[in-house]
Amino acid sequence: MDSQEESSSSFYKTTYTDQSDSEADNINTSSTTNLISSKKKRDRNKSSFVWKYFKVIGDKDVCQIEIRKDKKCGQEYLHDKSISNMISHLRVQHNIVDNKRLKSEIQQIRQTTLPDIIKTNIPHKGAKRKEIVKAVIEWILLDDKPLSAPRKKGFRRMMSKIDPKFRPPSDRFIKSEMEFSYLRNIEFLRQEIQTSCETATITADLWTSRKNEGYIGVTCHWITPNWSLRSVLLCCEKMEYPHTAESIYQFLLKKCNEFKLDNKTIYAVTNNGANMTKAIQL
């Protein structure tokens, strides 16, 4: 909700806060229709179940539920157009919800027949399945999820609502798709470098992981004939010790060959590590 909308009416603000309730669910949040439907809303609010439990006293709505003998709850809300505070009070303090909504939801569940479930549950095939699996793999990579994430209960339950025909791909399938996609992208990158790069700058850096394993990362930057800057990660891989100037040099040479950078003019940027600077000089 943008700030303008927020400040324009406190009534709309309160209706947004409790959208889980049936009354609030039915309220159209579009600002233009809000004005037109506000009378309808008032009428609906008047017939709401909350008035079985709340009474208007002066300018207040007061909860009339008996919490002990001769002792009423007495929770007060300003008597305005909003009933969402009363709805949430009834739910949280007295475990009371809209009976009409409860009944209709139970009926909906009962009415879902086995053929319905089977009909909506035939899994996707072909191109659609491929597209979904690709999206799942992208999610795993971008959000750093384990390969098993799509088979976890919560994810599957959520997906069954979003798309009942969704079936989680197996680890093995995810792995093979990732490998394929990696190789495809490497090939794509190689072609891109070949066609659009004349002079490149590479950067290289070495790290040691907590497990005491060495890693090397190499990035490559160039300007295309259309003057657009390209920056890509060529690799981030494990590198066996010792990290001597000679071994770093050999590694960089191998990477340059792999990406067909060997016939380009190359500049290198590194940190000041003795082995690194010597490797570049080689």
Name the minimum Å distance from CB 80 to Zn ion.
Answer: 18
Name the minimum Å distance from CB 93 to Zn ion.
Answer: 5
Check binding of 50 to Zn ion (CB under 5 A).
no
The piece of 73-81, 111-119, 133-141, 274-282 that touches Zn ion (CB under 5 A) is 73-81
The piece of 40-48, 55-63, 211-219, 221-229 that touches Zn ion (CB under 5 A) is 55-63
**Category of 251 on φ-ψ map: left (φ > 0), alpha (ψ -120 to 50) or beta:** alpha
Q: Of 102, 104, 99, whose CA–CA distance to 53 is shortest? A: 99
Check binding of 85 to Zn ion (CB under 5 A).
no
Separation CA 161–CA 19 (nearest Å): 19
The piece of 35-43, 67-75, 106-114, 168-176 that touches Zn ion (CB under 5 A) is 67-75
Name the minimum Å distance from CB 90 to Zn ion.
Answer: 7
Name the minimum Å distance from CB 89 to Zn ion.
Answer: 6
Q: Which two tokens stand for residue 274?
A: 């003795």
Of 63 and 189, nearer to Zn ion (C-beta) is: 63
Bridge partner list, 200: 222, 266
Of 88 and 196, nearer to Zn ion (C-beta) is: 88
Which run of H or E residues covers position 276? helix 274-281
Of 73 and 202, nearer to Zn ion (C-beta) is: 73
Q: Quickly list DSSP for 124-146.
A: P-HHHHHHHHHHHHHHHHHTT--
Check binding of 75 to Zn ion (CB under 5 A).
yes
Check binding of 63 to Zn ion (CB under 5 A).
yes
Check binding of 279 to Zn ion (CB under 5 A).
no
The piece of 70-78, 105-113, 230-238, 259-267 that touches Zn ion (CB under 5 A) is 70-78
Do the Cβ atoms of 27 and 20 come closer than 8 Å? no
Separation CA 32–CA 16 (nearest Å): 15
* Sheet of strand 229-238, all strands in order from the earlier edge strand to the far edge: 229-238, 214-223, 199-208, 265-270
CB atoms within 10 A of CB 248: 24
Contacts of residue 66, defined as CB under 8 A and 6 or more positions apart, other chains included, come to 72, 73
CB atoms within 10 A of CB 113: 9
Check binding of 15 to Zn ion (CB under 5 A).
no
Q: Is 100 helix (H, G, I), strand (E, B) or coil?
A: helix
Name the minimum Å distance from CB 60 to Zn ion.
Answer: 13
Contact pick of 73, 87, 252, 279 for Zn ion (by CB under 5 A): 73
Of 45 and 75, nearer to Zn ion (C-beta) is: 75
Q: Is 103 helix (H, G, I), strand (E, B) or coil?
A: helix
Count of residues that interact with Zn ion, criterion CB under 5 A: 4
Check binding of 45 to Zn ion (CB under 5 A).
no
Of 75 and 84, nearer to Zn ion (C-beta) is: 75
Check binding of 234 to Zn ion (CB under 5 A).
no
The residues of the shown chain that bind Zn ion, judged by CB under 5 A, are 63, 65, 73, 75
